[in-house]
Amino acid sequence: MPTTKKLEDKAMIEQKLRGKDFLTLAELETEDILFLLEEAIDLKQKQKQGIPQTDLQGKTLGMIFEKSSTRTRVSFEVGMLQLGGHAIFLSSKDIQLGRGESIHDTAKVLSRYVNGIMIRTFEHEKVEELAEHATIPVINGLTDLHHPAQVLADLLTILEHKGKLKGLKLCYIGDGNNNVAHSLIEGAAKVGMNIAIASPNAYEPNADILKGANADAEKQNSSISFTNDPIEAVKDADVVVTDVWASMGQEDEQEERINAFKPFQVNSNLCKHAKDDFIFLHCLPAHREEEVTAEIIDGTHSVVFDEAENRLHAQKALLKVLMKD
């Protein structure tokens, strides 16, 4: 049972976050992330127990998709429904944004129709511009630079399976310059996890993101390391994570990337260097026998479907905290 002071602290955090945007994990404080994870756990328990959730009764989320999606669309849409609200799917082909209407005008108009906007797009600058001109919360459902909604679910999954976050070692193997890697770096630094990234040369994480995350890691007495040696990175890891080698929009680089990343496949030979009780995460969709073997992703260490389910609960926490009156 939380103390009165803890309840007061949680109320203050909730009040601080209400009506805010969710663009990157770097913009949140450690206490904000931990609070969102607590909310996700609470909402997940209520759903499993069949307790009705009506926190967003009468609220509507506009969902702009310029990139296709399974987990992002379903988790946000079902999340709104389970919280008593409604979600509207807005494909770029179906709204005027896809025909040249400015982000400024789109933001102003949607702010008068809906109570929040979730956008999944390419350029991160587009999300920032949308948030600048909207008067309602804007949630980053994915950009080429960041994927904070996914990593919130990843942290929830790790917390459930490991019982803590601070002090764990997370190893990311693959493209260090993709959105999942960047948000994992930011999230791990905020919560005090040690993160090791293994990528080929020319696929290092964004320098500005690393600079900010290193400052956060220093505050938490944790570390961020980068290497070209996947065995070095995975040594004694509690959590092993990878992602596809070519993300959406990079299809023309597929062959080049396969050649570059072949030594970075997550397989049983690599994972024997991790801790015996390591867990494996992948945001999905996965290309079995490319970035990860079937033996690992379908094996006993894999928690990828718990992770996928937790997109729903993490997104519900976001929606409730940001959009509730």
β-pairing verdict for 138-142 and 194-198: unpaired
Q: Are 143 and 121 in contact (CB under 8 A)?
A: yes
Q: What is the 3-state secondary structure (H, E, C) of 233-271?
A: HHCCCCEEEECCCCCCCCHHHHHHHHHHHHHHCECHHHH
* Residue 6 φ then ψ, to 5°: -65, -40
**Which residues form the catalytic set?**
120, 147, 150, 243, 283, 311
Question: Which top CATH class is 150-305?
Answer: alpha beta
Angle at 274 between CA 271 and CA 278, to 5 degrees: 95
Given this model, what pLDDT does residue 254 score? Answer: 81
* Residue 34 φ then ψ, to 5°: -65, -35
How many C-alpha atoms does 281 have within 13 Å on its Cβ side?
31
Give the pLDDT confidence of 147-171 residue by residue, as tens digits.
Answer: 999 999 999 999 999 999 999 999 9
Q: Which fold has domain 4-147+310-323?
A: Rossmann fold (3.40.50)
Given this model, what pLDDT does residue 199 score? Answer: 97
Enumerate the domain spans of the chain.
4-147+310-323, 150-305
Given this model, what pLDDT does residue 255 score? Answer: 84
Q: Provide the annotated binding site for carbamoyl phosphate.
A: 69-72, 96, 120, 147-150, 283-284, 311
- Report the chain (325 residues): mean pLDDT per 10 consecutive residues: 62 96 98 97 97 97 95 98 97 83 95 98 97 98 98 98 98 97 98 98 96 97 98 98 84 85 97 98 97 98 98 98 97
Give the pLDDT confidence of 172-228 residue by residue, as tens digits.
Answer: 999 999 999 999 999 999 999 999 999 999 999 999 999 999 999 999 999 999 999
Domains 4-147+310-323 and 150-305 fall in the same CATH topology: yes
Q: Are 295 and 141 in contact (CB under 8 A)?
A: no
Neighbours of 156 (CB within 10 A): 25
Given this model, what pLDDT does residue 249 score? Answer: 67
Distance separating alpha carbons of residues 271 and 128, to the nearest angstrom = 38
Overall pTM > 0.85: yes
Q: For residue 306, what are its two tokens?
A: 């718990």
Q: Are 290 and 233 in contact (CB under 8 A)?
A: no
